[in-house]
């Protein structure tokens, strides 16, 4: 009743003002209602305080090449080619997604030329060191912060085409192709995926045969399902009628003038829900001949007289050696996904710190969105998840650049796990941030909604996420079987916790227990351990019924996927703990510890803890209440936490700042 009375009074005041205006200006043909007090934008920095040093937090989160990142951000901000535009008194840089597909592709190439001419790509293929590789990662993270098409176009050229030359090729290939590739004198693509086969690389149908008379390989697309798709080269090699498996060849598809080469057919993949700045295409080979030296022969070779040569005799090991260098694609996708989460959360949190909705009591000011517990619960666990992914991504990058034959298996398992987990998380974060921004989240210029379409592909390219998670579980299963067979302790993939007594979750949980890092680690290890044991038992039951191991694993897919997620959550949490341990006592460590608890309890809140009986219903409800409590404790740090992501204002969007001016009538007139 009070609220109805208050609104009636406001309307009465409006009508009285209108009457006064009409009396004062009897000749006026128009009179409008006016509000007593219009909404105004107040920068959150005026009311929010920083309890810790955001520069130090950013160093911890980015970990490496902070100055290089800022240099590249600044370079991109200064050029017209990155489409700067003014909104609400600030300049933003973002692609113009209203352009046609052809225009977007043209702009992507112009941006690549701009970066190339300023030395951004110097040493990416010709300088091989941990430092140069980490610098590449840092630059790629900046590029994907601006535009996914730019990052993918650069990534395909350097990491897939260039990486194939580097890792599959030998010195003759390096000398001939790498420097020209680095300088973009040669533009390359990587043609592995086919219409009929994507994740199942063994099943690709393109065939290459060797002609000893001319010392040439003949590449052929034998059927429609074999044509290369989403290319933006691999084929099965037949020697004397024997299929030697997947191998990589260099095949020229256009001449120096850009014309399609003889016996090659090319078609566009067409308009997509995102990534329209990338010219994905399809390729058919009609008995295309390439010289013998175009076989990338670091793993296997063919002699002039047609003999197949390889130091790796086992076909499965040879296949694994061919795929190992492609891991960098999954690493880049995983790391890039984290930065999209940062962009979306920085925008959504800043908007929630300035946008108000509803009053708690009549005549009181409307409440900031982020002061509602429900809004905190929507966004702050995602901030914690993004910090966790950041620390895990840093671990993944270091694991990759320090790679060795002994660590290849670990890199494959961790990169598969993180690629799936990070991209799934990012799509969840983008959706939640889109909704949290309301109608403004639909506008392309506000980025969050557009990013959903741009990044949706990350859940399926470089390996479908569900398949990758099953690969992770297969690797864990193999470790289990090996340990049992040899009667030795677990060693590798972080499974050493399986050698210890099984953790026990207390029947009565307290706030202190839930925030204890040892309890958090025990809970995650318990789930991983139990799911691995369950998977082994389930497969054994199927095998006992006479089913093959392969079929038994397929029938255990639910356990396998849950195990893959459990492994990923445990490793990510472990890397969060390790990052926290590097800090001295103080406010930075205190806030990070609270954030770590929020991430851990968000994992524990997962349905699997109830499904498999690790938590009682009462304990699960207690975990949920504790998460809400932690969110309220982190609310004062929200701005500082997203500011620590280090994303420059120009790479966010108008609703992250003065969204009233950005949508004013004057802004319409000046567009």
- State the catalytic residues: 462
Instruction: Count CA atoms within 13 Å of residue 554 on its CB side.
Output: 5
Helix axes 130-146, 66-77, angle to 10 degrees: 40
Q: Cα-flanking dihedrals φ and ψ of residue 550, to 5°?
A: -65, -45
Q: To which H or E segment does residue 537 belong? A: helix 517-544
Q: Kind of pairing, strands 207-211 and 234-239?
A: parallel
Q: Which residues contact 425 (CB under 8 A, 6 or more apart)?
A: 337, 341, 385, 386, 389
Report which of 469, 463, 462 is spatially closest to residue 553, judged by C-alpha positions: 469
Please tell me the distance from the alpha carbon of residue 175 to that of residue 127, in angstroms, as a whole number: 13
- How far CA 326 is from CA of 122, 126, 156, 162, 176, in Å, comes to 22, 18, 11, 11, 21
Rounded Cα distance, 319 and 633, in Å: 51
- Read off the tokens for 480: 């289990």
Cα dist. 614→421, 498, 526, 617 in Å?
22, 17, 8, 10
Q: What are phi and psi of 325, to 5 degrees?
A: -65, -20
Strand partners, 289: 218
Beta-carbon contacts of 24 under 8 Å, excluding residues fewer than 6 positions away, are none
Q: Considering only CA atoms, which of 87, 85, 88 is closest in space to residue 96?
A: 85
| Sign of torsion over alpha carbons 229, 105, 463, 311 | positive
Task: Consult the annotation and say whether 410 binds a ligand.
Answer: no
Q: Is residue 193 marked as binding?
A: yes
* DSSP-derived 3-state class of residue 191: coil
459: which 2 tokens? 């859940």
Q: Which residues contact 493 (CB under 8 A, 6 or more apart)?
A: 410, 413, 475, 476, 479, 567
Q: Can you tell me whether residue 393 is helix, strand or coil?
A: helix
Question: What count of Cα atoms within 13 Å lies in the side-chain half-sphere of residue 414?
Answer: 29
Chain centre to alpha carbon of residue 483: 33
DSSP code per residue over 442-466? GSGGG-HHHHHHHHGGGGTTTS-HH
Other C-beta atoms within 10 Å of 53: how many? Answer: 14
Strand segments (E) across 61-167:
84-87, 90-93
Rounded to 5 degrees, φ, ψ at 512 are -60, -45
Half-sphere exposure of 229 (CA within 13 A, CB side): 16
State the Cα–Cα distance between residues 663 and 658, nearest whole angstrom: 9
Closest to 121 measured CA to CA, from 94, 143, 147, 145: 143
Length of the chain equals: 671
DSSP 606: S
- Give dist(CA 489, CA 526) in Å, integer: 17
Report yes or no: 437 and 448 within 8 Å, Cβ to Cβ: yes
- Given the structure tokens 């074999």, which residue do they identify? 226
Tell me the sheet residues that pair with 417.
Answer: none
Q: Which residues are annotated as a binding site?
A: 193, 232
Q: Which residues are annotated as a binding site for FAD?
A: 193, 232
């Amino acid at each position: 009743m009070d609220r109805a009375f208050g609104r009636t009074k406001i309307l009465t005041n409006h009508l009285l003002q209108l009457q006064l205006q009409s009396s004062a200006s009897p000749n006026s043909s128009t009179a409008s209602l006016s509000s007593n007090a219009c909404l105004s934008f107040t920068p959150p920095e005026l009311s929010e305080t920083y309890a810790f040093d955001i520069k130090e937090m950013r160093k911890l989160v980015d970990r490496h090449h902070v100055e290089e990142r800022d240099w590249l951000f600044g370079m991109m901000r200064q050029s017209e080619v990155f489409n700067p535009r003014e909104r609400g008194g600030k300049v933003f840089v973002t692609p113009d997604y209203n352009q046609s597909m052809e225009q977007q592709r043209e702009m992507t190439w112009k941006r690549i030329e701009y970066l190339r001419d300023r030395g951004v790509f110097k040493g990416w293929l010709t300088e091989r060191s941990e430092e140069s590789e980490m610098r590449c990662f840092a630059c790629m993270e900046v590029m994907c912060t601006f535009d996914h098409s730019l990052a993918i176009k650069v990534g395909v050229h350097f990491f897939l085409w260039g990486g194939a030359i580097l890792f599959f090729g030998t010195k003759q290939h390096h000398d001939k192709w790498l420097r020209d590739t680095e300088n973009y004198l040669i533009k390359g693509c990587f043609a592995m995926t086919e219409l009929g086969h994507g994740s199942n690389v063994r099943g690709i149908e393109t065939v290459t045969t060797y002609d000893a008379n001319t010392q040439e390989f003949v590449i052929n697309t034998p059927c429609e399902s074999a044509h290369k798709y989403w290319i933006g080269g691999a084929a099965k090699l037949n020697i004397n009628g024997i299929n030697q498996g997947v191998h990589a060849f260099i095949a020229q598809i256009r001449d120096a003038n850009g014309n399609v080469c003889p016996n090659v057919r090319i078609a566009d993949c067409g308009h997509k829900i995102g990534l329209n700045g990338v010219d994905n295409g399809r390729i058919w080979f009609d008995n295309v001949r390439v010289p013998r030296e175009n076989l990338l022969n670091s793993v296997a070779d063919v002699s002039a007289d047609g003999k197949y040569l390889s130091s790796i005799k086992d076909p499965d090991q040879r296949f694994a050696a061919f795929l190992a260098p492609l891991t960098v694609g999954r690493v880049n996708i995983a790391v890039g996904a984290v930065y999209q989460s940062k962009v979306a959360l920085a925008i959504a949190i800043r908007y929630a710190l300035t946008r108000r909705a509803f009053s708690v009591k009549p005549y009181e000011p409307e409440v900031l969105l982020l002061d509602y517990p429900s809004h905190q619960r929507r966004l702050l666990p995602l901030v914690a998840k993004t910090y966790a992914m950041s620390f895990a991504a840093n671990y993944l990058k270091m694991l990759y650049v320090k790679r060795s034959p002994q660590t290849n298996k670990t890199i494959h398992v961790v990169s598969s796990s993180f690629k799936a987990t990070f991209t799934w998380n990012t799509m969840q974060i983008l959706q939640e941030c889109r909704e949290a921004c309301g109608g403004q989240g639909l506008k392309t210029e506000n980025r969050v909604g557009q990013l959903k379409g741009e990044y949706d592909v990350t859940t399926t390219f470089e390996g479908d996420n569900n398949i990758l998670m099953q690969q992770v579980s297969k690797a864990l299963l193999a470790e289990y079987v090996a340990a049992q067979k040899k009667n030795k302790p677990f060693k590798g993939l972080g499974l050493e916790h399986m050698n210890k007594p099984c953790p026990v979750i207390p029947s009565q949980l307290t706030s202190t227990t839930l925030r204890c890092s040892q309890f958090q680690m025990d809970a995650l290890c318990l789930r991983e351990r139990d799911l691995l044991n369950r998977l082994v038992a389930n497969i054994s039951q199927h095998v006992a019924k006479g089913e093959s191991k392969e079929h038994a694993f397929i029938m255990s897919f639910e356990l396998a996927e849950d195990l893959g997620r459990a492994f990923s959550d445990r490793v990510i949490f472990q890397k969060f703990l390790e990052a926290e341990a590097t800090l001295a006592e103080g406010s930075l460590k205190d806030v990070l510890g609270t954030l770590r608890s929020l991430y851990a309890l968000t994992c524990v809140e997962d349905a699997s803890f109830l499904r498999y009986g690790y938590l009682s219903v009462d304990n699960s409800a207690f975990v949920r209440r504790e998460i809400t409590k932690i969110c309220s404790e982190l609310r004062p740090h929200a701005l500082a936490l997203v500011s620590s992501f280090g994303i420059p204002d120009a790479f966010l969007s108008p609703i992250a700042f003065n969204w009233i001016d950005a949508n004013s009538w004057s802004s319409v007139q000046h567009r």
